Structure 1
Amino acid sequence: MTVSWGQLLLAAALLLVNVGLSWRLRLGLSRDILVAGARMTAQLLLVGVVLQWVFSLRHPLPVVGIGLVMTALAAQAAVGRARQRYARILLDSAVAIFGSSFLLTGLVLTGVLRVRPWFDPQFAVPILGMVLGNALTSVSLALDRFLTEVTAGRARIEGLLALGATRWEAAHAAVAASVRTAMIPTLNSMAVMGVVSLPGQLTGQILAGAAPGVAVRYQILLMFVLAASSALGSLVVVLLAYRHLFDAQDRLRAERLHVRPERS
């Protein structure tokens, strides 16, 4: 079954529900809803054209290039809503997202699915995209929580350091809370998957005609990968932020933090 342009327009009309609620409750989101819908549609249509071209190629460079572009955009999005900032926050975000996503995607393609060739875009691009999206969310949550913990708990942290605690001992509670916060959404999804919700990948495969048993096995595999990317990405970005905000002399360098200016 294919989706026609007329059917897409009918589905797009459902956004009027959101616009109507925003207008009635004076949420001020009507313009944002319409812009987000139009942007999503344009982006996905463009991705469809690009992927159709990439799928016709048999070379790793375009696949890796697309992955790097997706990683850069994911890193920027991960820090986009962080109120607290420091000089290397974008670089740290990119390193965490790139490291966790490419490592786990590579392990799945070569060690689990054993795709030949490993860069087959039919497998590599969709799997990397899902892992990147999950890592983006985890890195964003972990960063925001860690920087908030450091700012709000500055007096406690500096007190521990003054009493002789090492920088790790003083920051451990903030690190643990941040990684835990980043992992909770994925763990919650895993706990109710198949009972409360059917994920998009599973639904998409079934609608495309795949046998339910095959689609379910792919979804289970992907959820294990997403859980790992959540843990690894959040841990890496928190440790990078920790090393930047705490120096080798066991001091908290709070002056390296600044507040993002509010948009007018």
Structure 2
Amino acid sequence: MITLGYMDLASLAGMVFLLGILLMLNGFKETRQLWIASVRMVVQLLLMGVWLSWVFNSDSLWLVGLVGGIMLAFAGYEILKRQTYRFQKAGSFVVGLMSLSMTALVLTIFTLTLVVQPQPWYEAQYAIPLLGMILGNSMTAIGLGLDALTKSAVKQKNQIEAQLALGKTAKESMLFLKRQSLHTAMIPVINMLAAAGIVSLPGMMTGQILAGIDPIEAVKYQIMIMLLITVSTASGVLIALRLAQKRLFDQRMRLTLDHLIRN
């Protein structure tokens, strides 16, 4: 495998800096956030690389669990930060964390114990990258779905209350918003599946090929990952929307948008 030097990465970072200036000159107002996010990405990945080198050599279930727990917590936090309207008292964080734990985490453990079957089953080389790939895609979809649901609930408050007045249940009155939110969350996943192998070579497959793995084996792993991402994303969005819907109504099935705070 051809190794990269830090100067190689620095030259690419310079391109991102110049790109930010070009975007700023063309009216893009989030250039500072682009630069901060880029710096944050570099620092986080370097720290993760150092930490994972230690975790991989330790072969400890507790360390793997700690890394997984931190990844889950940060994913839940990112879901919260991406919301236009968030629930009070860390409600959006709890919804995101629960939906991720019930899908991405469960699917990762299932895949490690019954499909890949490394020895031991929690081997960090497999467990952490697998969880990370599933979490990243599920987090994005859940964030999109929750954001679409809460924004639509605020904008279409009158329609929801009109349906409640006609005798419909909270679930029935939110059905049309749930469908819209599901569509928003799932379209990127469907596009990813449709483009894989023709328009784009997915990241895991590309990484394995660059590392010298047989392309057929790399394809098998990539298919597994994409199927897991699809299942985790769809089920995670459904769970998140269900939990969020419950928080939008009180016990008397009244719409309570005062539980929402604009970010």
TM-score (structure 2 length as normaliser): 0.94
Name the CA distance, whole Å, in 1 between partners of 2:198 and 2:144. 26
Matched, 1:193 2:206: no
Secondary structure of the corresponding residue to residue 98 of structure 2: helix
User: How many residues are aligned here?
Assistant: 260
Deviation at 1:205, TM superposition (A): 0.8
Equivalent residue runs for 1:98-247 within 5 Å: 98-247=101-250
Name the CA distance, whole Å, in 2 between partners of 1:218 and 1:61. 26
Secondary structure of the corresponding residue to residue 258 of structure 1: strand
Deviation at 1:29, TM superposition (A): 4.0
Segments of structure 2 that go 5 or more residues without pairing to the other structure are: none
Deviation at 1:220, TM superposition (A): 0.7
- Does the 8 Å contact 1:18/1:33 carry over to 2? no
Name the CA distance, whole Å, in 2 between partners of 1:24 and 1:250. 50
Secondary structure of the corresponding residue to residue 117 of structure 2: coil
Partner of 2:256: 253
Secondary structure of the corresponding residue to residue 246 of structure 2: helix
Deviation at 1:239, TM superposition (A): 0.6
Name the CA distance, whole Å, in 1 between partners of 2:30 and 2:248. 36
Segments of structure 1 that go 5 or more residues without pairing to the other structure are: none
Name the CA distance, whole Å, in 2 between partners of 1:246 and 1:28. 37
Partner of 1:79: 80
Out of 245-254 and 174-183, give the one that drifted further.
245-254
Name the CA distance, whole Å, in 2 between partners of 1:156 and 1:107. 42
Deviation at 1:17, TM superposition (A): 4.1
Deviation at 1:207, TM superposition (A): 0.7
Deviations 1:150-174 (Å, cap 9, x if unpaired)?
Answer: 1112111111111111111111111
Identity of aligned residues (%): 36
- Does the 8 Å contact 1:206/1:212 carry over to 2? yes
- Does the 8 Å contact 1:18/1:30 carry over to 2? no
Out of 45-54 and 251-260, give the one that drifted further.
251-260
Q: Match of 1:79, as an amino acid?
A: L
TM-score (structure 1 length as normaliser): 0.93
Matched, 1:42 2:68: no
Equivalent residue runs for 1:16-27 within 5 Å: 16-27=17-28
- Does the 8 Å contact 1:202/1:219 carry over to 2? yes
Name the CA distance, whole Å, in 2 between partners of 1:257 and 1:153. 14
Q: Match of 1:2, as an amino acid?
A: T
Name the CA distance, whole Å, in 2 between partners of 1:16 and 1:207. 27
